[in-house]
Amino acid sequence: MAEIIPGVEEVVSFAVDVYEKEFGEAPDVQVFAPGRVNLIGEHTDYNEGFVMPMALPLVTVIVGKVIEGEQTTIVTTNKHADLPHRTTIEMPNKNSLVRIIPRGMPKWANYVKGVIANYLGSLPPAFRAVIHTSVPTGGGLSSSAALEVATYTFLDAITEPNTIMPTDKALACQKAEHDYAGMPCGIMDQFISALGKKDNALLIDCRNLTSTLVPLSEPEMVILVTNSNVKHELTGSEYPTRRKQCQEAALLIKKISLRDANLKDIEYLTSINTDNDIVKRARHVVTEIQRTMDGAEALNERNYRKFGRLMVESHNSLRDDFDVSCPEVDQLVELAMQVEGVLGSRMTGGGFGGCTVTLVQKYAVKNVIDNIKNNYQGKATFYVCQASDGAKILKNP
């Protein structure tokens, strides 16, 4: 059956135990931020389009305590993180106008460094902390954004109260990923991790940075996240390539971004003998933006069959036009769609592996899992999920 997702309390308890063993005292502060699954709207965020993710019950927890001095110590329990799993960070000089923290090894710590460097409040004090997560690494469920937003939430808890808007916090975390992880991601992942709400997806306008709650609380419907447990090495190089191709398409049609494009613009690109890959990338983005808006309307109307059809169309477009799927993920979608009670399935996340998201009637969940287990060429992991809350401070002295 599906993995049993530990509750936030269980993840916190484990982190507290590790902290006490590492540092010989109890932590004062506990925070969490969730991973996310994008229901529809893939590779549209950096094209100023629409996306519709939901926050997951899979979370990253940080527990810790303020200490004297200027040296922060952090420990991660993530066995997939590069070594060492315990490291120190020299906090920025309090008299400096610019917070400079050098990037370095281990790589996982750069996410924390980036958030400290881009924190919008007062300079945080030095601290000790343990990071523990239930979000799978490299599964396309945004473990990186969960870490960034959890770090920002932790810094909020240990510094003076401020009135920074949640959208600005998400932007600061996005900048941390750009500057310190070298990944030119859009705003979706950080936004949903910070602003998610239980029983709702979030339709995000990535141009205006506004969002609308979309109800997702039908008791007979389940979101099944299936991890292919494969991650092809193309991800790091192909993501920036796709982004550049989209920018080139927008320039050719003289638009600020593909948010402003339509199907006639795609026809124009074809007529001027534009490179076929650029035409395909643009076509995906234009049609995906429309699918996302239609999907929000379908969920508002509780028209789950229509939403399921849009999910399948989205996957086909990501596979054929955006070229970011892979055989393993295609097979997961195909196997899910063979089962009665499945309304839609698609790849989710950046691509080249990772997870699928499937909208399925509750009674059919076991049948879907069994069909995949019996026929999938790899070893999949399953998570039965409901839309969950965004980041929170759980304990603060």
The pLDDT tens digits of the residues spanning 338-380 come to 999 999 999 998 888 999 999 999 999 999 999 999 999 999 9
Distance of alpha carbon 51 from its chain centroid, rounded? 11
Q: Is the pTM of this model over 0.85?
A: yes
Q: Within 13 A of 337's CA, how many CA atoms are on the CB side?
A: 19
383: in domain: no
Give yes or no for a contact between 207 and 213, defined as CB atoms under 8 angstroms apart: no
Model confidence at 289, pLDDT cuts 50, 70, 90, reads: very high
Write the pLDDT tens digit of every residue in 164-178: 999 999 999 999 999
Q: What does residue 396 show for φ and ψ, rounded to 5 degrees?
A: -150, 120
Instruction: Dump strand ranges (E) for 160-301.
Output: 200-205, 210-215, 221-231
75: in domain: yes
DSSP code, position 125 = P
114: in domain: yes
Give yes or no for a contact between 295 and 307, defined as CB atoms under 8 angstroms apart: yes
Range of the domain at 155: 8-214+388-395
Distance of alpha carbon 199 from its chain centroid, rounded? 18
How far is the C-alpha of 372 from the C-alpha of 370, rounded, in Å? 5
Write the pLDDT tens digit of every residue in 243-284: 999 999 999 999 999 999 999 999 999 999 999 999 999 999
pLDDT at residue 138 in the model: 78
171: in domain: yes
Amino acid present at 335: L
Q: Is the pLDDT of residue 97 over 80?
A: no
Using only C-alpha atoms, what is the Rg of the chain? 21
Q: Is the pLDDT of residue 106 over 90?
A: yes
How far is the C-alpha of 172 from the C-alpha of 187, rounded, in Å? 10
Q: What is the mean pLDDT of residues 181-207?
A: 94
Of all residues in the chain, the percent with pLDDT exceeding 90 is 88
31: in domain: yes
3-state secondary structure of 115: helix
The token duo for 274 is 């534009």
Q: Is the pLDDT of residue 119 over 90?
A: yes
The token duo for 223 is 């979101």
Residues in contact with 171: Cβ distance below 8 Å, sequence separation at least 6, in sequence order: 187, 190, 209
pLDDT at residue 226 in the model: 97
349: in domain: no
**Overall number of domains in the chain:** 1
3-state secondary structure of 1: coil
Q: Which residues pair with 86 in a beta bridge?
A: 75
pLDDT at residue 236 in the model: 63
DSSP code, position 321 = T
Residues with catalytic roles: 189
User: CA separation (Å) from 258 to 27, 171, 249, 273?
Assistant: 47, 21, 8, 18
84: in domain: yes
How far is the C-alpha of 355 from the C-alpha of 231, rounded, in Å? 10
The three-point CA angle 222-3-80 to 5° equals 120
Q: Are strands 127-133 and 71-76 parallel, antiparallel or unpaired?
A: parallel
- Taking alpha carbons only, the member of 280, 277, 246 closest to residue 266 is 280
Write the pLDDT tens digit of every residue in 45-54: 999 999 999 9
- Taking alpha carbons only, the member of 62, 57, 16 closest to residue 34 is 57
pLDDT at residue 121 in the model: 83
DSSP code, position 47 = G
Instruction: Dump strand ranges (E) for 187-334.
Output: 200-205, 210-215, 221-231
Q: What is the mean pLDDT of residues 131-159?
A: 94
Give yes or no for a contact between 34 and 389, defined as CB atoms under 8 angstroms apart: yes
Model confidence at 233, pLDDT cuts 50, 70, 90, reads: low
Q: Is the pLDDT of residue 130 over 90?
A: yes
Residue 120 belongs to domain with CATH number: 3.30.230.10
Give yes or no for a contact between 271 and 309, defined as CB atoms under 8 angstroms apart: no
Name the average pLDDT for the chain: 95
**What interhelical angle do 276-300 and 263-271 show, nearest 10?**
170
Give yes or no for a contact between 358 and 220, defined as CB atoms under 8 angstroms apart: no
81: in domain: yes
How far is the C-alpha of 370 from the C-alpha of 366, rounded, in Å? 6
